Copies of this chain bind each other. A is one copy, B any other.
Amino acid sequence: MTHYLSAERVAEIIQKRGIGACITGVASYINQDFLRWNSFDKCARVANHSDVGVIELMPIADDKSYAFKYVNGHPSNYRFNLPTVMAFGVLADVETGVPELVSELTLTTAIRTAAMSAVAARALARDNCKSMAIIGNGAQSDFQALAFHYLLGVDTFHLYDIDSAATDKLEANLARFGVTTKRFSSAKEAVKGVDIITTVTADKTNATIITPDMVEPGMHINGVGGDCPGKTEIHGDVLRMGPVFCEFEPQSRIEGDMQQMPADFPVTELWTVLAGKVAGRTSEAQVTIFDSVGFALEDYSALRFMRDVALEMGLGETLSLIPAMDNPKNLFGFIGEDVAQTVANGATAGPTSAATSVTSARSTPAFVV
């Protein structure tokens, strides 16, 4: 039996445990796992692109657990009243290959992406950052704001989106958390004077939302939305203003804002900073840039967190994805004793005929763990 966390169940976990606790918890798991960077079998994600979007698989494993995420990116999904990004994922046992957990990852990805941004900013931004501009006020933006609030103490948010209804939504959601929000009518005005700039826009284009004239000394730029080939947010000259940090270099060079830069453009993998091997920021006036694209290890961490909390709270259902057999070499026997009779009939009658009625006593249990 595979443990199953639906979207409703993860929402319940976040409600009951608290979103601050969940973001903090996922950040802590990410930090732990990034410190074990070389224990993981890593690859760039595998993408199938279409004219309107992308569907990706993101696998990773250490010697104990395997994880993968299914995730799409369809910027025009609002036309169908669907999210731009939807995801689910799996944790499996490396020793046997058994899938142990299937979980929604739409909510969880929003939390882990925000937690990753905050973990990076803790290592790269100036101390005592208090203000952040958020350019792009869609589904991910609330989580970004709260991650920086809970992990760095940021309490003032400058908001801008081409869709003012998105900003309405973000303002309303953040109002309940005792933070200050200010609305602006352009990205340029929104970023003026802030400590941190977060870009989290959805358009699949080579945009230049942040240009060099908008960047002030000491700023940290958290570039989240430029995350697949043909989708960038930050002008190349901004990337040249300060050291650039990324998650997994082979993937970020293809998918990040860095895709604009030559192959030898210098970049530092964040785990080396977290592990104390490489310096992050080296002066107060330096501009630092985290070119985030989202890496499989973050989903591994987030899946571990959700599983651990769900087990602790006794939440979740089960799925019967794998046949349970007395003799695993007798997979055929799982179909049932009477299959030969049906088979003969079915085959004679042809594939589209009505089948002989065989009553099955099997059922799929769905009970709380």
Contact = CB atoms under 8 A, between A and B. Distances in A.
Interface of A: 4, 6-9, 11-12, 14-22, 24-25, 28, 41, 43, 46, 48-50, 52-53, 55, 57, 59-61, 63, 66, 68, 70, 72-74, 77-78, 80-84, 86, 88, 90, 92, 94-99, 102, 104, 106-107, 110, 137-140, 142-143, 146, 150, 163, 165-166, 169, 173, 176-178, 313, 317, 319-336, 338-351, 353, 355-358, 360, 362-364, 366
Contacts of A341: 176
Contact of A88 (B95, B321, B362): B321
Nearest to A333: B173
A48 B77 contact: no
Nearest to A358: B15
A177 B342 CA distance: 11
Query: Chain A binding site: helix, strand, loop or mixed by DSSP?
Result: mixed
Given A11-B334, A169-B333, A366-B366, 11 more contacts: A7-B322, A16-B357, A48-B94, A55-B61, A57-B59, A81-B325, A83-B331, A106-B323, A107-B334, A139-B331, A165-B329
Contacts of A364: 6, 8-9, 317, 366
A146 B343 contact: yes
**Most chain-B Cβ atoms within 10 A of its Cβ — which of A81, A92, A319, A353?**
A319
A107 B50 contact: no
Contacts of A60: 48
Nearest to A149: B347
Nearest to A24: B351
Given A321-B88, A329-B78, A360-B11, A43 B41 contact: no
Given A80-B96, A335-B15, A323 B7 contact: yes
B107 A15 contact: no
A174 to B, nearest CB: 9
Contacts of A333: 169, 173
A269 to B, nearest CB: 20
A343 B111 CA distance: 13
A336 B139 contact: no
A146 to B, nearest CB: 7
A48 B61 contact: yes
A72 B55 contact: no
**Copies per complex of this chain:** 2
14 contacts: A11-B360, A16-B356, A17-B342, A24-B351, A43-B46, A46-B46, A52-B95, A53-B95, A55-B59, A83-B323, A106-B323, A107-B331, A169-B330, A364-B366
Contacts of A73: 97
B63 A16 contact: no
Contacts of A345: 18
Contact of A55 (B12, B66, B166): B66
Contact of A83 (B66, B80, B83, B322): B322
B57 A329 contact: no
Contact of A328 (B78, B319, B347): B78
Contacts of A102: 102, 321
